[in-house]
Structure 1
């Protein structure tokens, strides 16, 4: 594959970043350096690590960055749950983001397994 931009997992991760930013823009202003920033940073980490890993020279390094992406995705899922629990996110917004993140999680796990099989 010539570019990470063609990877469906990268495209879906980019969509998740956009949705995350849109869903957090109405969080309380006092959270701008707290939960809002943390949620946004870990959402950005997912496609960023997919892209960075794609540019590495070995499958071992690629897998390392894909695993970092999954870790960031789990962090995002946890923080979204916190935002829902403290009523910064509606149930509807949470469910939409969470389902998108779960779909991406399944895709990443499958992609990682395919790369491992290539070894």
Structure 2
């Protein structure tokens, strides 16, 4: 899907995958122990949601989508998304090791974030497809 068919961040497959995964994490993290509320639970929810929020900041119509004119800013925000996705993977590993998530749940979500990361890296490496020409 090229920039001409993207009207909103919600049109991006990478956004859709990240949003879906963040919602799965939210629902699964409801079962985490109370003592994890201000550590693992908050951190994994924050980082997973941040991937989506950073994409929206860069890609939503009428505001940040216009900022595609600035390649460096566009790449910087995508790099923030990449860092948050990788952080989420770390929290997923902790959740599995602490036995708050099953190995299967952890693998599924980790794999989704690998796909999200791949999409983000592709956008970072090919900004000309997304940045508005001068």
TM-score by length of 2: 0.82
Flag structure 1 segments of 5+ consecutive residues without an equivalent. none
Runs of 4+ in 1 over 3 A off after TM superposition: 116-119
Flag structure 2 segments of 5+ consecutive residues without an equivalent. 1-5
Answer yes or no: is 1:30 the counterpart of 2:42: no
Answer yes or no: is 1:110 the counterpart of 2:115: no
Who is 2:26 aligned against? 21
Asked if the contact 1:24–1:36 (Cα under 8 Å) also holds between the matched residues in 2, the reply is yes
How far apart are residue 51 of structure 1 and its match? 1.0
Given the alignment, which residue of 110, 113, 116 partners 1:98? 110
Could you report, residue by residue, the CA deviation over 1:36-92 in whole angstroms, capped at 9, with x for unpaired residues? 000000001001001112215222211111100000011110111011111111111
Counting matched residue pairs gives 119
The CA distance in 1 between the partners of 2:94 and 2:7, in whole Å, is 38
Who is 1:41 aligned against? 46
Who is 1:76 aligned against? 88
Which structure has the larger Rg over C-alpha atoms?
2
TM-score by length of 1: 0.92
How far apart are residue 116 of structure 1 and its match? 5.2
The CA distance in 1 between the partners of 2:96 and 2:15, in whole Å, is 26
The CA distance in 1 between the partners of 2:114 and 2:22, in whole Å, is 14
